[in-house]
Amino acid sequence: MKQSKQNLFPLAAFALMGILLGRAAYPHTMKPGEYLIWGISSQQAAIPVGSVITEAVLTIHDIVPVKNPQFYIHLLDNPLEWVQKGNTSESGNAFQGHGVPLKGTVVNGKWVCRLSQVNNGASSIWTVYKNPCIIKLSNGSKVSLSSSLLELIDYIGNGGGFGFGIDFESICSFTQITLDITTKTFLGTFEQQTFSFAMSNLYSYDEALKRWIYLDGTKPDDWEQDLPSAGTLTINRCQVTARSVIGQDTMTVSGRFTGAPNLFWVPQIELSVISVLDGKMVYTESCGFTWDKVRNQFTWSRRLVNNQPGGITSLGFDFSTQTFSLTLSRVDLTGLSSPIRLNLTIGSVSYTGEVDEPIINGSGRIPIRLMRNYRDELRISKAAAAKGRTAGTDQLSITGEIAVADVAGTNLAALPVSITWGAQTFTIPEGSFTKAAKGNVYSCLNVPAAEGGMVSCKIDLDKCIFSVVLKNAVLDLVPGTAADANLQIGTPAP
């Protein structure tokens, strides 16, 4: 863990090769409620006799989000050596009351804390040292030690070890955490030394390049393993629109998610839309994304032009708020019914969520038009019966939505159509319907039903709607009650 910059093997050529190969540094993504404790042995910080720590710089490399990353970080006394990773179910700062709270700023994509600049006038350390604590160095210069530096000197000096605890409040990513301790002599010949430590064994400091670099081929420690995991989608809004032309449907969804992938290693985002009832994969697509590291968002958008196939036109995954939104435009959603399952695979995490009525389309229902050329389905929107003034003059009207599995192969002109009211059936004989000059629209007017009464009916297999009126019929009507209504195309199965 301890590494002295003066003694590091030069790795400039190796690092350059890694850059040319496009090798990315091994990333870490921490989720809300997760924490890290990095413990360092005091023996590894062998401060020379006659020297004093004048600076300690803690750096979180490639921090995302760049703007206002959410975590608590404390300098700790006597933690276990090396790295512990864990979870806490409690909200707030897990290290409250332990060690020294630290603050830093993001500079050029790095979160940097200089302990010389973290000075707490109310710290108990000032009961031991005079405030301000000014040390005269052997070169004649003076340095004023902050409370945080004095605490660090105390933690190292007591021999029990020191380290840092980080409690993450939102999803954050980074590639490495380093600590650089600078010492200067106050006795004897003036000398300055730097002691460098890295949280990950996958990195080493390169003196020629003046930066920490990734050591390709090194096996990661257990805490660094990002194993495949599952995330959850909670869909709060889902709007599905079925256009009159197949392949022009739209779908928008939004909601929240839990879990986070390894954000640095996400090549693309994979989407699947599944109809749960029959397991049909209605739509699937993979798309790229832009990583907004300031806001910590994955975003994707594109404009469709005429005659261009549709697909995902907007996608947003906000890892700071853990919310998402998705829009599909000009796609074929034939076969999509409620409930809907949405699968999104992002890196090592597969997110899954289901949505049912009434969230789909709010107070409306998922369009039955999506069943056109997929399966037979019928919805009754309204059914009303009225008793006539004289016998044989009862009336029944039914409106609704209808879809057939094979529009082109369904010729209503050659099929009977049955209307059901409770236990009664009224049949429109085959040959009664006339097809319109355009489209798949069939109608009949005042056709005698086989069981009595006159029927007028219109069935539009393109718009997936129908209406039927039965007049001059004898209906079983019970005051205050309503019977089930239905419509059947063709001869019912025995």
Cα separation values, 451 from 396, 407, 418, 455, Å: 14, 28, 10, 11
pLDDT in tens, the chain (494 residues): 333 333 222 222 222 222 222 334 567 899 999 999 999 999 998 899 999 999 999 999 999 999 999 999 999 999 999 999 999 877 889 999 999 999 999 999 999 999 999 999 999 999 999 999 999 999 999 999 999 999 999 999 988 899 999 999 999 999 899 999 999 999 999 999 999 999 988 887 777 887 778 887 788 888 887 667 889 999 999 999 999 888 899 999 999 999 888 898 899 999 999 999 999 999 999 999 999 999 999 999 999 888 788 999 999 999 999 999 999 999 999 999 999 999 999 988 999 999 999 899 999 999 999 999 999 999 999 999 999 999 999 999 999 999 999 999 999 999 999 999 999 999 999 999 999 999 999 999 999 998 999 999 999 999 999 999 999 999 998 876 778 999 999 886 55
Of the chain, the end-to-end C-alpha distance in Å amounts to: 80
Rounded Cα distance, 224 and 226, in Å: 6
490: left (phi over 0), alpha (psi -120 to 50) or beta: left
Give all strands (DSSP E) within 78-221, no chain letters: 82-87, 100-101, 105-107, 110-114, 133-136, 142-145, 162-168, 172-174, 176-185, 192-198, 203-206, 211-214
Return the number of other C-beta atoms located less than 10 Å from residue 272's C-beta: 17
Give all strands (DSSP E) within 307-370, no chain letters: 311-318, 323-331, 340-346, 349-355
User: What pLDDT sits at residue 494?
Assistant: 58
Rounded Cα distance, 93 and 443, in Å: 71
Contacts of residue 52, Cβ cutoff 8 Å, sequence gap at least 6? 135, 143, 145, 153, 183, 184, 185, 186
**What is the residue type of 400?**
G
Contact 404, 461 (CB under 8 A): yes
C-alpha of 11 from chain center: 38
DSSP state for residue 19 in the 8-state scheme: H
Rounded Cα distance, 37 and 184, in Å: 28
DSSP state for residue 360 in the 8-state scheme: B
Rounded Cα distance, 157 and 3, in Å: 19
> ∠448-453-456 over CA atoms, to 5°?
65
**Bridge partners, residue 417, by sequence:** 428, 489
C-alpha of 65 from chain center: 16
Contact 366, 360 (CB under 8 A): yes
User: What pLDDT sits at residue 3?
Assistant: 37
φ and ψ of 71, to 5 deg? -160, 160
**What is the residue type of 126?**
W
Structure tokens at 179: 């600590």
Contacts of residue 152, Cβ cutoff 8 Å, sequence gap at least 6? 53, 56, 75, 115, 162, 181
User: What pLDDT sits at residue 26?
Assistant: 66
Which string of b and e fits 315-341 if b means at least 16 CB within 10 Å?
bbbbbbebbbebbbbbbbbbbbbbebb
Task: List, in sequence order, the alpha helices (H) in 110-237.
Answer: 147-157
> ∠245-469-477 over CA atoms, to 5°?
130
**What is the residue type of 347?**
G
> ∠199-200-203 over CA atoms, to 5°?
115
Rounded Cα distance, 182 and 145, in Å: 12
Question: What is the four-CA torsion angle of 206, 209, 212, 218, rounded to 10 degrees?
Answer: -60
> ∠473-475-476 over CA atoms, to 5°?
165
Rounded Cα distance, 265 and 270, in Å: 14
Contact 119, 146 (CB under 8 A): yes
pLDDT in tens, 119-141: 999 999 999 999 999 999 999 99
Report pTM: 0.83
| Every domain range in the chain assigned CATH 2.60.40 | 229-369
**What is the residue type of 376?**
D
The fold of the 229-369 domain, in CATH, is: Immunoglobulin-like (2.60.40)
Contact 189, 174 (CB under 8 A): no
